Amino acid sequence: MSFKFKRLDPNAQLPARAYPTDTGYDVIAVSQKIYRDQGYVEYGLGLAVELPFGWGLQCRARSSISKYDLMLCNGLGTIDNEYRGEIKLRFKIVPSEYSEANGYRFYIVGDKIAQLVPERVLDANIEWVEELSPSMRDTNGFGSTGR
């Protein structure tokens, strides 16, 4: 199986895993636009992708996000099979007392900013039913397992 990437910027780099067992492929920012009035930072990867039929990519924040005053805007992004434009990620600016006093900490161009995780897209039959089958958990949620 092949995920084909097109370089849209001369500085773009192919997504890469740090370890062969990693599920995510790190991606590197080649551009940055700060929209302070709208409260977000947009990073471009300088890449477009062609995915095999039946596959998509999830865009996830890296654990290093905790070092910055940013949060991936949509929590988890999706790159659908038919999308061929530049892959861009938007991060919400998260103000804190530290950032207000010392300036905001953002990723910079050249940083690994997120991970792309391949996902299999399955065709599912979506339907209405009158009742759902019972389960051990039933309707218990939000900490129902103890914490």
Mind listing the pLDDT tens digit for each residue in 77-86? 899 999 999 9
What are the structural domain ranges in the chain?
4-120
* pLDDT score of 74: 83
> Which one-letter DSSP state was computed for residue 64?
G
The pLDDT tens digits for 8-22 are: 999 999 999 999 999
Residue for token pair 């849209």: 8
Residue 46 vs residue 138, higher pLDDT: 46
**In the CATH scheme, what is the homologous superfamily, with its name and number, of domain 4-120?**
Deoxyuridine triphosphatase (dUTPase) (2.70.40.10)
The answer to whether residues 44 and 29 touch, using CB atoms and an 8 Å cutoff, is yes
pLDDT over 70 for what percent of the chain?
A: 95
Out of 11-25, 49-63, 65-79, which region has the weakest mean confidence (pLDDT)? 65-79
Beta-strand (E) ranges in 9-137? 25-28, 31-35, 40-44, 47-50, 55-61, 70-72, 77-79, 88-93, 112-120
pTM of the entire structure? Answer: 0.83
Q: Which helix (H) or strand (E) holds 7?
A: strand 4-7
